[in-house]
Amino acid sequence: MANQKPVFLTDDVCPCLRTKTMTLNTEYRRSAYEDSFTADTAIFHCLRTMCGHGPDELDVAADMCRPGRECYVVDPDTIA
Amino acid sequence: MVDEIKIQVGFEGHYEELTVTLPEGDIPPYQPADKLTVVGKSHPRLDALAKATGTARYAYDQRPKGLLYGAILRCPHANANVTTLDTSTAEQMPGVKAVLKATELFESNSCRFAGAEVAAVCATSEQIAEEALRAIFVDYEVLPFAVTLEDSMASGAPQVGRRDQENVERTTPRLGRDRDGSINEEREKAAQDGMAEREKKVDAILKDAPVVISRTFRTQVQTHCPLEPHGLVCEWKDGKLIAHASTQATFGVQGELGRRTGTTPQVICDHVGGGFGSKFSAGREGVIGAMLAKEAGAPVRVMLTRRAEQTAVGNRPDSKQKLTMGLDREGKILAYRIRSWGTPGAGTGGAGAHNDALYKLGEIDKVEYGVRTNTGGARAHRAPGWPQGVFALESMLDEAAKAIDMDPLELRRRNDSHKVRKAEYEIAAKRTKWQDKRGKGVASGSVRRGIGMASSLWFSAGGGGASALVRILKNGTVEVRNGAQDIGTGTRTIMGQVTAEELGLGLADVTVFIGNTDDPRGPASGGSTTIGSLTPAVRLAAHDAKRKLLDAVADRKSWDAAGLDLKHGSVVDGSGNALISFRAACALLDEDAIEVLRDRPTLGRRRPNYAGFEDTNAGVQVAEVAVDLETGEVRVEKVTAVADAGKLINPKLAESQVRGGVIQGVSYALFERRTMDRQEGRMVNADMESYKILGAADCPEIDVVMLDVFNGKSNTGVMGLGEPPIVATAAAVANAVADAIGVRITELPITPRKVLEALGKVPRTRAASEKKGTSL
């Protein structure tokens, strides 16, 4: 398995980003992000589009859904 | 207070002592000397009768009063943008109660595969809902498309994605990105420098290696095909959403629908008709169901059609894996190079293949690419990345063994240090008479027999975030509750067994409540973690409830509580003498019930479990096949599966998991394959008639040997089992076929055509078609 160290800390990942690993270990969301980031089989989706690309039509992933991206959401309740 | 204790770990004939630090408040794990009466016994699953008689109620079976029927309009084009979407006619149709535009609901007008959601309706009957879909007018900007790996990678291929997305993207090592997701040149250069360094290092080893072999392997797209399709029944009551979902993650669905609706929904899942990794998210169908129900003011059922099920909600990606291995003549692997490509749909995530695991492979140089295609996207699929990766890896090992004239079993022994797997090799070899059969190519008429092996591993001993509630009522009844789902693995039964064991009762004395988010929080059923995560919480809650009961009894009877225990339905003293029945003890309670809620003990965020016997659990499978040299048909006659899942709570259910994995693995090896029409861009076999899955007549004899491994790691010592049994199967079958016919087939599924091609009996079609692209 290809393991790579995360480039970023995970605190500011867009709260709309989702992946399977996040649902496995409910107490440790941050750890789940980090694990997902290093897995070469991780598949992400966006809560707004409910698919693998964001509202800006680009892929969603732990290293891409960051502040500065045009569809980045600070408050996840805004999608309700 | 954190306790340091000595425990016994290992398995029969291989026990050793280990000093471990228990998490605060935890109890020691089951030990080999424990005399367990319920745990470790093969009880039938608690819901067996309900499932066998059809009384088990799935999401599909929910019929609340006033139920409306949802239906989803899907894009017929492989690549298109919606330019006009007019639902006004549908909205006016009698019986139609709500209409939604997916373009608005999901903030995107792009449809990147034939089957993408465009609009949805709900109506008083399924027929009216279907008619309403036909009344929706959609205009598309239709774009060129690519639906196969070769088509997408070809020079001048149509762009699959949008904006500046390229069709092929490196996924391992990941591209060096900036904080906004754009490429950071400095980071990317560092990644490329690292790649170049590894390449150089492996080049140098391969140059001097006594034996170097290179092969290219292909695997197909395996679509998800659970008997119960994705979907749910939603209703709103007093502003609260109640969703009966077919899901592997009740709390995950609760979280997603909660974010989408601004509420805290209740998600209920009594039974699941299969998930296999595809049912973690609420999915677009889940959001559609919740919003249609809200708009209509009535309960709505949205369950996918079989076509939608096989096109829109996930698959195991295909792969093309170019491997090079260098080794010495004694069988030591020195270096290993991997270049692989996979097609996980319009994105690139999930394309990886685990082809560099299991063995000591020397210096590794691995680069992987995701290839975008206009096809339905990948989702986790029972051991994501493993069956395809291990098929290639284990085929390479057999080819390497052949190159140095060594028994493939011996080559594996020499490159494997796993204590359990080393024992499993010997069990498998003895049980299958490996030495008598391997390489013999026993013939009977046109049929040639062969035998092959492959290995597996898995990681999980579970993690935190699970809680369990145990309630002992004054009338002597016992309940255990958790809100997670039982996806068919037997979680419900296992919770009951662990509780019963701790309370000295029988399984029938415990009522298990599961699959309702109003109960304590539990994990998703993924990564083979559910039982490893849940049972330590269940056991601790039951243990603490027992102590409370015994304290109460001791208080009433003026006994010493420390010397009391619960065994065989009674309160017993230190010598094991029965003093009073469990029921009579409960009657002594002052309150109506003892209720104990406990979280799963862990050592911390990054290290939930203490050290155990091995960090991974192991498996070895041996397949025996018969190949008809005239027709090319392969029959898998027998699979011997030796498996380890840590401490076995219920051997019967564990065996059942292994059998299921083997069956799905043989199906992957011989039959399953998504076929795409390259001209129209659609899946042509999106139904259960033409998407061939192994049937009862194709099923091999399966000989399961479960090792009971006291691995420690948690108070139950359970390791994951749902996924590992599928990891090795296709590889073992492929190796057996090569043993039978003397020629390596490097592409799954192993169809009669490929066998005959390999034997030179029919012309090869693959090489020519690969140049332009072909369906996978």
Token couple for B547: 């102590």
- Tokens representing B327 are 């080794």
| Cβ <8 Å between B181 and A63 | yes
Range of the domain at B685: 405-460+612-772
Where residue B712 sits, what CATH number does that domain have? 3.30.365.10
> In chain A, what are the domain boundaries?
17-79
Contact between B379 and B313 under an 8 Å Cβ cutoff? The reply is yes
Q: Which residue does chain A place closest to B528, by CA atoms?
A: A24
Cβ distance of B280 and A20 shorter than 8 Å: yes
Whether B174 contacts chain A with CB within 8 A: yes
Q: Is B510 in contact with B500 (CB distance < 8 Å)? A: yes
- The reported pTM is 0.95
Determine whether the interchain pair B163/A2 forms a contact, defined as Cβ–Cβ distance below 8 Å: no
Query: Which residues does chain A have within 8 Å of residue B281's beta carbon, measured at their own beta carbons?
Result: 18, 45, 50
Q: Is B181 on the interface with A (CB under 8 A)?
A: yes
> Would residue B746 count as lying in a domain?
yes
pLDDT at A4 > cutoff 80: no
In sequence order, what E strands does B633-717 have?
Answer: 634-644, 701-707
Minimum distance, in Å, between the CA of residue A2 and any CA atom of chain B: 7
For residue A80, name the pLDDT band (cuts at 50, 70, 90).
low
CB B462 within 8 A of CB B609: yes
Rounded to the nearest 5 degrees, what angle is found at the Cα of B703, between the Cα atoms of B697 and B707?
145
> What is the predicted ipTM?
0.93
Give the mutation candidate from A10, A36, A38, A43 for the B interface (greatest B CB count, under 10 A).
A43
Amino acid of residue B119: A
Q: Report how many domains make up chain B.
A: 2
> Partners of B444 in the beta sheet?
B447
Alpha-carbon distance of B412 to B400, in angstroms, equals: 10
B40, B649 contact by CB (below 8 A) = yes
CATH number for B111:
3.90.1170.50
Please give the C-alpha separations between residue B196 and each of A40, B173, B661, B704, in angstroms, as whole numbers: 20, 12, 39, 45
Mark yes or no for CB contact B287/A50 under 8 Å: yes
pLDDT confidence of residue A42: 85
- Tell me the residue type at A75: D
Residue B229: is the preceding peptide bond cis (ω within 30°)? no
Residue A8 has pLDDT above 60, yes or no: no
Q: Do A49 and B348 touch (CB under 8 A)?
A: no
Tokens of B509: 């004395």
Label residue B767 exposed, middle or buried (CB < 10 Å: 0-12, 13-18, 19+).
Answer: exposed
Residue A63: its chain B contacts at CB < 8 A?
174, 177, 181
How much is the pLDDT for A25?
62
Cβ contact (<8 Å) for B187 and A69?
no
**Best to test chain A binding among B107, B232, B517 (most A CBs inside 10 Å):** B107
Evaluate whether residue B652 is within a structural domain: yes
Residue B98 lies in a domain: yes
CB contact under 8 A, B252 and A4: no
For A4, nearest residue in chain B (alpha carbons): B173
Substitution target in B170, B172, B533 with the highest count of A β-carbons within 10 Å is B172
Say if the Cβ atoms of B464 and A63 lie within 8 Å: no
Which residues of chain B are under the pLDDT cut of 50? 767-769, 771-776
State pLDDT tens for residues A13-41.
Answer: 888 999 888 777 644 444 555 555 556 67
**Which B residues 197-216 touch A at CB under 8 Å?**
none
Q: Which of B72, B108, B525, B600 to mutate to test the interface with A (most CBs of A within 10 A)?
A: B108
Q: Testing the interface with A: which of B100, B109, B111, B179 to mutate, by most A Cβ within 10 A?
A: B179
The per-residue b/e assignment along B407-417, b for 16 or more CB within 10 angstroms, e otherwise, is ebbebbbebbe
Edge to edge, the sheet with strand B510-514 lists B510-514, B478-482, B467-473, B593-599
| Torsion (CA) B154, B157, B161, B162 in degrees, nearest 10 | 140
Query: How far A56 CA sits from the closest chain B CA (Å)?
Result: 8
Burial class for B393, CB neighbours closer than 10 Å (0-12, 13-18, 19+): buried
Asked if A67's CB is within 8 angstroms of B179's CB, the reply is yes
Would you mind telling me the total number of residues written for chain B in this entry?
776
Q: What is the pLDDT of residues B480-507, one digit of tens each?
A: 999 999 999 999 999 999 999 999 999 9
Interchain pair B106, A31: CB under 8 A:
no
Q: What is the pLDDT of residue A35?
A: 55
Mutation target for A interface from B103, B259, B294: give the one with most A CBs within 10 A: B259
Q: What is the pLDDT of residue B605?
A: 66
Shortest Cα–Cα distance, B101 to chain A (Å): 12
Classify the C-alpha dihedral B182-B185-B191-B196 as positive or negative.
positive
- Check A25 against B110: CB less than 8 A apart: no
Tell me whether residues B259 and A41 touch, CB distance under 8 A.
Answer: no
Give B482→chain A minimum CA distance, Å.
14
pLDDT for A29 equals 44
Contact check, Cβ <8 Å, B380/A8:
no
Chain A contact present for B259, CB below 8 A = yes
CB contact under 8 A, B165 and A69: no
At B438, give phi and psi (nearest 5°): -60, 130
Q: Which of A22, A43, A69 sits opposite B180 (nearest CB)?
A: A69
Residues from chain A that touch B354, judged by Cβ atoms under 8 A, are: 1, 41
If phi > 0 it is left, if psi is from -120 to 50 it is alpha, else beta; for residue B250 that is: alpha
Among B97, B126, B143, the domain boundary falls at: B143
With respect to residue B649, please indicate whether it lies within any of the assigned structural domains.
Answer: yes
Phi, psi of B540 (to 5 degrees): -65, -40
Q: SS3 for B484?
A: coil
Amino acid at B673: R
Asked, for residue B743, whether it belongs to a domain, the answer is yes
Instruction: Give the gap in angstroms from C-alpha A5 to the nearest C-alpha of chain B.
Output: 10
> Which of A50, A52, A68 faces B349 most closely, judged by CB atoms?
A52
* Chain A residue at shortest CA distance from B183: A64
* pLDDT of amino acid B773: 44
**What token pair was written down for B102?**
């997916």
Under an 8 A CB cutoff, do A2 and B352 touch?
yes
Q: Does B523 touch chain A (CB under 8 A)?
A: yes
How far the first Cα of chain B sits from its last, in Å, is 57
Q: Is B429 within the bounds of a domain?
A: yes
- Nearest chain A Cα distance for residue B526, angstroms: 6
CA distances from B671 to B35, B319, B634, B748 (A): 45, 16, 10, 8
Residue B438 and residue B408 in contact, taking contact as beta carbons nearer than 8 Å: yes
- A7 pLDDT more than 60: no
Please report the residues numbered 131 through 170 in chain B whose beta carbons come closer than 8 angstroms to any beta carbon of chain A: 161-163, 165
CA separation for the pair B472, B194 (Å, rounded): 59
Contacts of B529 (CB under 8 A, 6+ apart): A24, A25, B460, B462, B463, B523, B720
Strands (E), chain A: 17-19, 44-46
User: Distance between CA atoms of B528 and B525, rounded to whole angstroms?
Assistant: 7
Does residue B722 sit at the A interface (CB-CB below 8 Å)?
A: no
**Measured between CB atoms, which of B163, B177, B345 is closest to A64?**
B177
Check if B465 contacts A (Cβ < 8 Å): yes
Q: Residue B173 and residue A53: Cβ atoms within 8 Å? A: no
SS (H, E, C) B536-590: HHHHHHHHHHHHHHHHHHHHHHCCCHHHCEEECCEEECCCCCEEEEHHHHHHCCC
Whether B181 sits inside 8 A of A24 (CB atoms) is no
Given this model, what pLDDT does residue A77 score? 61
Count Cβ–Cβ pairs < 8 Å, chain A vs chain B: 173
Domain boundary (B110, B143, B176) is at B143
Stated length of chain A:
80
Q: Do A23 and B344 touch (CB under 8 A)?
A: no
Cβ within 8 Å, pair B526-A23: yes
The answer to whether position B561 is within a domain reads no
Domain-embedded: residue B431: yes
**pLDDT (0 to 100) of residue A9:** 42
